[in-house]
């Protein structure tokens, strides 16, 4: 049981020395407190768990370039996205992040295909439609490409959001509670889809969730976030087996002893 986490720790170390993957260090006292230090190498799925209001979404927004913390550093594959000491701050457009929003944030006035095409603005106009359709086919929605979000089920909307997030060939994939708004059966299927998808994606994936079972089932690494601070990071089974503090145990709803 000890070998898998050790292997991941080793992969993380090598990746970090090469500058590969995502490296996030953030610190600020307010208005939203943040104290985060995490590394996510390519191919790794890293879950961020914690109660609502723990700063999970703020953390994702900082990585995506939608929220600028006071101090810290964010690098992706060695490229500096944010460095407070150097005054570096890349706009979200310059970061190549795929972000699946909690409520998906699909554009309601556009078809599924047009939604995906908005993330292909950098490509020649003629190539966009085919690429968008290919992505929708990949998530199993080729036959519903012309429907608007309102005419799609929750699970289908989620897959459109995923296709749109992947359209830019992102360097990092961020998932903000992507399974929170669908029923249990759909959730299980989408979780399986994600497990399959990550096999083919050689990028860091950050999954924000308050569902521990989901984190344990899908993630290689898990960070417990509370009031903006990462309390513990490790393989999910390790964290569950050996919470670093009574607070972590309480947050993970583990009975002491």
Q: Exactly one of 25, 128, 168, 187 binds another protein (CB under 8 A); which one?
A: 168
> Binding to another protein by residue 210, rule CB under 8 A?
no
- How many C-beta atoms lie closer than 10 Å to residue 229's C-beta? 16
> Cβ contacts of residue 131 below 8 Å, gap of 6+?
120, 123, 167
> Binding to another protein by residue 79, rule CB under 8 A?
no
Rounded least distance, CB 94 to another protein, Å: 9
> Binding to another protein by residue 128, rule CB under 8 A?
no
> Binding to another protein by residue 71, rule CB under 8 A?
no
Residue 222 Cα to chain centre, angstroms: 12
The sign of the CA dihedral 129, 141, 112, 217 is: negative
Reference 36, options 172, 45, 46, 44; nearest CA is 46
Restricted to residues 175-204, the positions that interact with another protein (CB under 8 A) are: none
Reference 100, options 33, 20, 167; nearest CA is 167
> Binding to another protein by residue 167, rule CB under 8 A?
yes
> Cβ contacts of residue 172 below 8 Å, gap of 6+?
22, 40, 63, 76, 95, 96, 97, 98, 203, 204, 205, 206
**DSSP reduced 3-state for 207:** strand
Angle at 136 between CA 135 and CA 141, to 5 degrees: 155
Residue 44: burial class (beta carbons within 10 Å; 0-12, 13-18, 19+): buried
> Binding to another protein by residue 254, rule CB under 8 A?
no
- In the bound state with another protein, the residue whose beta carbon lies nearer, of 106 and 205, is 106
Q: Exactly one of 27, 71, 118, 181 binds another protein (CB under 8 A); which one?
A: 118
> Binding to another protein by residue 59, rule CB under 8 A?
no
Rounded least distance, CB 133 to another protein, Å: 17
> In angstroms, what is the C-alpha Rg of the chain?
18
Restricted to residues 132-161, the positions that interact with another protein (CB under 8 A) are: 148-151
CA distance 208 to 175: 6
Q: Exactly one of 122, 127, 130, 244 binds another protein (CB under 8 A); which one?
A: 122
- Candidates 77-85, 87-95, 179-187, 199-207: pick the segment binding another protein (CB under 8 A): 87-95
- Candidates 78-86, 163-171, 187-195, 204-212: pick the segment binding another protein (CB under 8 A): 163-171
Restricted to residues 8-37, the positions that interact with another protein (CB under 8 A) are: none
Q: Exactly one of 58, 76, 84, 119 binds another protein (CB under 8 A); which one?
A: 119
Q: Exactly one of 27, 32, 83, 92 binds another protein (CB under 8 A); which one?
A: 92
- In the bound state with another protein, the residue whose beta carbon lies nearer, of 102 and 191, is 102
209: left (phi over 0), alpha (psi -120 to 50) or beta: beta
Chain residues that interact with another protein, rule: CB under 8 A: 61, 64-66, 91-93, 95, 97-99, 101, 103, 105-109, 118-119, 121-122, 148-151, 164, 167-168
């Amino acid at each position: 049981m000890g070998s898998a986490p050790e292997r991941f720790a080793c992969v993380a170390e090598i990746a970090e020395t090469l500058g590969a993957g995502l490296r996030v260090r953030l610190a600020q006292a307010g208005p939203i407190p943040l104290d985060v230090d995490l590394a996510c190498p390519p191919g790794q799925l890293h879950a961020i768990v914690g109660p609502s209001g723990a700063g999970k979404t703020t953390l994702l927004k900082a990585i995506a370039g939608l929220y600028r913390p006071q101090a810290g550093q964010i690098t992706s594959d060695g490229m500096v996205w944010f460095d407070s000491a150097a005054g570096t701050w890349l706009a979200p457009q310059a970061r190549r992040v795929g972000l699946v929003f909690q409520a998906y944030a699909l554009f309601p006035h556009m078809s599924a295909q047009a939604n995906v095409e908005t993330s292909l603005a950098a490509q020649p106009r003629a190539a966009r439609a085919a690429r968008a359709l290919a992505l929708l086919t990949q998530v199993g929605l080729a036959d519903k490409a012309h429907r608007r979000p309102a005419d799609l089920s929750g699970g289908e909307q989620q897959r459109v959001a995923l296709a749109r997030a992947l359209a830019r060939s992102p360097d990092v994939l961020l998932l903000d509670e992507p399974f929170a708004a669908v029923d249990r059966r759909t959730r299980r299927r989408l979780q399986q889809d994600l497990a399959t998808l990550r096999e083919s994606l050689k990028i860091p994936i950050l999954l924000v969730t308050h569902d521990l079972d989901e984190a344990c089932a899908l993630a290689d690494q898990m960070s417990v976030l509370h009031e903006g601070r990462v309390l513990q990071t490790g393989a999910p089974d390790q964290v569950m087996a050996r919470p670093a503090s009574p607070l972590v145990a309480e947050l993970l709803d583990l009975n002491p002893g």
